[in-house]
Amino acid sequence: MDDTVRTLAEIDATAAKVVFRSCSADYFTYTVECDSSTVAIPSLTQSVTLFRDGVKFFSGVVTDRSQQQDRVTVVVSGPWWQLDNMVLEVNQADGTGAVAPRPSLPVGGSFKAIIETVINYAIAAGAPIALGTVSTYFDVPANTYNQSTYGQVLAELLRLVPDGMAWFDYSTTNPTLNVTRRGVATTRTIDITDCAEFEAKPRIQLKLNYLKIHYTDRAPNGRRRWQSQTAGTPAIGFNGITMVSGPEMDTFLPDEPTDSVFISSFPTSGSPATLRAFLNATDSVLTQLISRYTNNWFNYPGAVPYFQTQSPEVGGASIPYHTSTPSASSIPAQQGTIGPVFKVNGVAISGTKYVVDSSAALPDWLTSENGIAVYDAILDVDIPVIVDYSETTSYGKGFPTSSLPGVVEFAGYCWRNEPQLFNVYGSPYPKRGIFIYKATANVKLLDNQIVGTIYRRPSFTYRAPPANFASNLLASQNWTPYDGRFTMPLDESGGTRYRGCKIRVTNSRITAHATMDALVESEELDLMNDMTTVILGAPPRVDYQTWVDKSRTTPQANIIYL
C-alpha cells in the first residue's frame, strides 16, 4: 500500500482473509483496531497487492472501508469488480453505414472464441486483466447480450455450459483470466481425516441422462416447422427439455407472411423453339396468324427460320427470311437474319438474362424483400410468316397483305413447285410467300434462371442450434454436481491452491466421493489462522435449484431479424 510493502502485523491487522471466487470478484479484507493502529487507512480505489514469498498472490483496488465502533474493515476487490462495473460496448454500423459503440453483443459459433472475444473487448475497454487459457468448448446458437456488463456476460455464458470455472492467476503483470472445464481441470485429492470440517451433498436434479432441444425453422414455403435435437437415453427424473427458439418463448412475434408466386423463365440466348412457344402464347396477333396459316414461322430446322425451295431461280438454296428490298415479283435476297433483341431502357442487353414466361404477375416483394432483381424490358423481333397460296398465272402480283392481321411487311415469294408439294391447291402455280410480322412485347427479365415457386421471405427467422449441440451440451451436464465445503488447517495458507480445480475425497464412507470431481466455487484463506475453506458447487450467480430453472431462455434469444 502507498508503494510501501508491509506485513499484516505491520498494519496491525487483527483479522485478514483472501477469497478467490468463480464468476465473481475475488477480495482481500482485513480489520484494524482504531485505538491501537497508527497505519493510515487506504483510500477508495487505491491499488493494493498481496504477496506470498515474494510472488504476487492477489491484487485489486479498495472498494469499501467501513467503521464499526473502534474497528475499520477494508475490502480490496479483484479485477472482476471492474468487469461487473463496465458496460460492454461493441462497435456496430447503423443504417447509414456509420459505426459507433453500442451496448449490445451478438454472438454465436465457437464458445471458446466467444469467451475470448468478451475478455479481449474488456481489455480493450481498459480492464486491468490479461487473457489466459480458455478450455476448448463447442459451437453454440446465436444470441445477443444487451445492456450488460462484461462480468454479467461472462457469467451468463458459463451458465449455459456449467462444467467450467473462471479464475485469475495473479502472478502475472496483469491478473490473467482463465476458464477451465471440469474434464481438464487439475485434480486435488483431500483426505477427509485432515479436514476440520467437511460436507458434500449431491445435486442429482442437475444431472442429465437425456437432452431434447426444441427449435423452430422454416419450411420451403416459409411456414414455421417444429424441429428438435436429442442426445442420450431417457430416464425419468434425468431428462432435460429446453428450447432454442419457437413461439412458446415469446408473447409477441412479427407477422409471418406466406405469399408465393410461381416463376418460369428461359434464357434470352435460348433455342428458337423456346422463344417461339413463348411468343405464340403471349402475342394475340401471332395467335391469329397461327390459326389461319398453319405453315408458320420456325417450322423448319436450323438456327434461324428459312425455307427450302427447288425453284430453278435459286437452285434449291436456303433463303433467309428477310430482305431490305422486298418485291412482289422477286425472290427475297439472301442476307443476314435479324434475331430477337431485348432492350432495357432502350438499350440492348449484353450477355444472357432470363425471360419470365409465367403468367402470374411478379409481386413487389420479390425485389424489395427477397432481393431478386426484375428488369422491365422490350422484346423486338421480326417474325417470318410463311403462307402457301396459288396463282392462276405463273407471275402474279403476290399474296395481298391485307389478308394478314397486324403490322406486316411483304418480303417476297418464290415458286413452290417441289414434287412433294405439287398440286396441293389443284393449281400448277403454287407459291410460298414470306411476310415479316414485327412483334414488340413487354417482358420481364431476371439475372438468374428461376423455374419454380418462390416464397416471400419472412421478416425474421428462428434461431437454430448448431450440429451436435444436444450431444455436446449433454456431455457438459452428464455428471452429478456436488455442493458442500471443507476446511483444512495448513502450515502456511495458500501452499496448495484450489481455485480452478476439481476435488476428490479419500477415506469417506461414501465411495462416490473418491471420484466426484466436484467443482470449486470459491477458496477462502484465513491468513491469520492458516485455515483454508473451500466451497464446492456452482457460483451463486449461476446456481439454480433445478435444471429447468437453469435452462430457461429469454425471448430476446428467440428470433433473428433478416
Indicate the pLDDT class of residue 59, thresholds 50, 70 and 90: very high
pLDDT at 320: 36
d(CA 416, CA 378) in angstroms, rounded, equals 36
Cα separation of 18 and 173, whole Å?
A: 19
Has residue 517 got a pLDDT over 60? yes
Helix (H) or strand (E) holding 465: none
Give the pLDDT of residue 192.
96
Say if residue 328's pLDDT is above 50.
no
Strand pairing category for 186-191 and 501-506: parallel
For residue 426, what pLDDT is reported?
Answer: 43
Sign of CA dihedral 445, 449, 453, 458: negative
Q: If you average pLDDT over residues 168-195, what whole number do you get?
A: 96
Give the per-residue pLDDT at 321.
Answer: 34
Residue 167 banded pLDDT, cuts 50, 70, 90? very high
Can you tell me the mean pLDDT for 513-518?
Answer: 96
Give bridge partners of residue 20 from the DSSP assignment.
523
pLDDT band at 286 (very low <50, low <70, confident <90, very high): low
Which amino acid would we find at residue 553?
T
Band (493; pLDDT cuts 50, 70, 90):
low
**Ranges 34-38, 250-254, 495-499, 530-534, most confident:** 530-534
C-alpha cell at 216: 423452430
Q: How many percent of the chain have pLDDT more than 70?
A: 72
Poorest-pLDDT segment among 3-12, 216-225, 334-343, 511-520: 334-343
pLDDT value of residue 78: 97
Q: How confident is the model at residue 419 (pLDDT cuts 50, 70, 90)?
A: very low
Which of 175-179, 290-294, 344-348, 378-382 has the largest mean confidence? 175-179
Separation between Cα atoms, residue 75 and residue 25, nearest integer Å: 11
Bridge partners (DSSP) of residue 520 are 536
Q: Average of pLDDT values for 448-463?
A: 85
- The least confident of 81-85, 178-182, 331-335, 364-368 is 331-335
Q: Looking up cell 419454380, which residue turns up?
A: 452
Confidence of residue 312 (pLDDT cuts 50, 70, 90): very low
The predicted pLDDT at position 473 comes to: 92
pLDDT at 54: 87
The whole model's pTM is what?
A: 0.71
Asked whether residue 82 carries a pLDDT value surpassing 70, the answer given is yes
Cα dihedral sign for 328, 333, 339, 343? negative
Which residues share a beta bridge with 366?
A: none
Q: What number of residues does the chain have?
A: 562
Residue 436: pLDDT band (50, 70, 90) is low
- What is residue 204's three-state secondary structure? helix
CB atoms within 10 A of CB 484: 21
Residue 425, SS3? coil
- Whether 244 shows a pLDDT value over 50: the answer reads yes
Distance CA 391, CA 425 (A): 10
Lowest-confidence pick of 181-195, 322-336, 388-402, 493-507:
322-336
